A and B are shown apart, each in its own frame.
Chain A
Amino acid sequence: GAGVSQSPSNKVTEKGKDVELRCDPISGHTALYWYRQRLGQGLEFLIYFQGNSAPDKSGLPSDRFSAERTGESVSTLTIQRTQQEDSAVYLCASGGLAAYNEQFFGPGTRLTVL
């Protein structure tokens, strides 16, 4: 079966533009996470979706960041009015219902804001 896929793999944008990043989770996975990874660093939690429950948005760094997920399928992370400090790899992971289940990560989207 297919793993988690993300698109685009690379995105270069100009400061001030909006970007949309897409994540296709593994079919049947109810949990979906977005993380940000700055160069050479660990992962920073952004947002968590679990089924039809209200998402945990506590990790979103500013109101320029938002994410949506339709049911248990595709999720999009939108960054409005991008800033240079938004440059990072954005990783998506999906998993099962239990909190300690394995998270399966996609390859990430490398965002560069010029």
Chain B
Amino acid sequence: TQLLEQSPQFLSIQEGENLTVYCNSSSVFSSLQWYRQEPGEGPVLLVTVVTGGEVKKLKRLTFQFGDARKDSSLHITAAQPGDTGLYLCAGLSSGTYKYIFGTGTRLKVLA
């Protein structure tokens, strides 16, 4: 069974601080996506990474896909209250259309 473990599970920080969220598995994925979900809504895609070692930047967010395509990280610089939400990683199983979602990291940024 493929699993994606995210850490930390919960994170409460002050506005302006930096943070990193990790997504780890023992399985290899074809690609990996990061989503953010706000209460009462469905997840919204932030980024898709496909190549091992790939780094993508989206304003203050930096995403990295591990060289072996088993893990990923999301780094937020100078966090803002608007970054508050549930962050989910999702790995695409090789040769399928099935996404395995991580356990989630709930982030709260205090003003």
Contacts and interface: CB of A to CB of B under 8 A. Distances in A.
Interface string A101-114: 01101111000000
Interface string A38-71: 0011111100101000001011000000000000
A25 to B, nearest CB: 12
A58 B83 CA distance: 34
B40 A45 contact: no
B40 A43 contact: no
A4 B106 CA distance: 24
Interface residues of A, number: 25
A33 B106 contact: no
**For this complex, into which size category does the number of interface residues on chain B fall?**
20 to 34
B53 to A, nearest CB: 17
A56 B96 contact: yes
A42 B91 CA distance: 12
B99 A105 contact: no
Interface string B57-79: 00000000000000000000000
B98 A100 contact: no
Contacts of B43: 43, 91, 103, 105
In order of increasing CB-CB distance, the 5 nearest A-B pairs are A105-B42, A43-B101, A42-B101, A100-B31, A42-B104
Interface of A: 4, 31, 33, 35, 40-45, 48, 50, 56, 58-59, 91, 93, 99-100, 102-103, 105-108
